[in-house]
Amino acid sequence: MTTGPKECEKQGSERYHSADVNDRLIINLRDMGQTIRLLYEGKGSQKRILIILLEVGSITQRALTSRLGIQPGSASEVIAKLENAGLIQRTVSTDDRRTANIRLTPEGEHLAKAAAEDRLRRHREMFSCLNDSEKQTLLGLMERICTDWDAKYIRKREEEQNVEVC
């Protein structure tokens, strides 16, 4: 079921009563973040790993862990489950015998394709209340905000964490 622009406007106006525009923006961003977390596979989910492997073909566990943004132990646990389910296989790297390359099995590839199609459908559905022009405008605004917030908050916090305390 798709939601039209009128339904989006109606739903948005019911979230707050007298908050100023900045509060309303934050409320909406927070609510959207919660929805995305509910719908998305999660940082180290099995589906996300399968989709990444579908995209890249073969990858080392270290590179996969880095791409997922999770701890190596967490990645090992999920990778072991996928391997035990016959969805991935690990092979020793010909370049470095200490390293294993991870790739999809035929069954894993089948499931990864289905998961990627579900993700694409879900992403289209999530923005179905916007036309293409509105999507481009929103994207431009979001990219501008992300760049600004990265400079103001993320980099600043990283710099503060790297300062030695006497």
pLDDT digit string, tens, across residues 35-52? 888 887 655 589 999 999
Structure tokens at 147: 């760049």
Q: What is the 3-state composition of the chain as percent helix, strand, coil, each rounded to the nearest 5?
A: 65, 10, 25
DSSP reduced 3-state for 90 = strand
Asked if the structure places residue 50 within a domain, the reply is yes
Least confident among 43-47, 85-89, 147-151? 43-47
d(CA 105, CA 109): 6
What pLDDT does 155 receive? 76
Rounded to two decimals, what is the model's pTM?
0.68
What pLDDT does 15 receive? 63
Q: Which of the four pLDDT bands, split at 50, 70 and 90, describes residue 166?
A: very low
Same domain, 81 and 106: yes
In the chain, the number of structural domains is 3
- Boundaries of domain holding 165: 130-166
Supply the DSSP symbol for 165. P
The CATH number given to whatever domain includes residue 107 is 1.10.10.10
pLDDT digit string, tens, across residues 94-136? 888 888 899 999 999 999 999 999 999 999 999 999 999 999 9
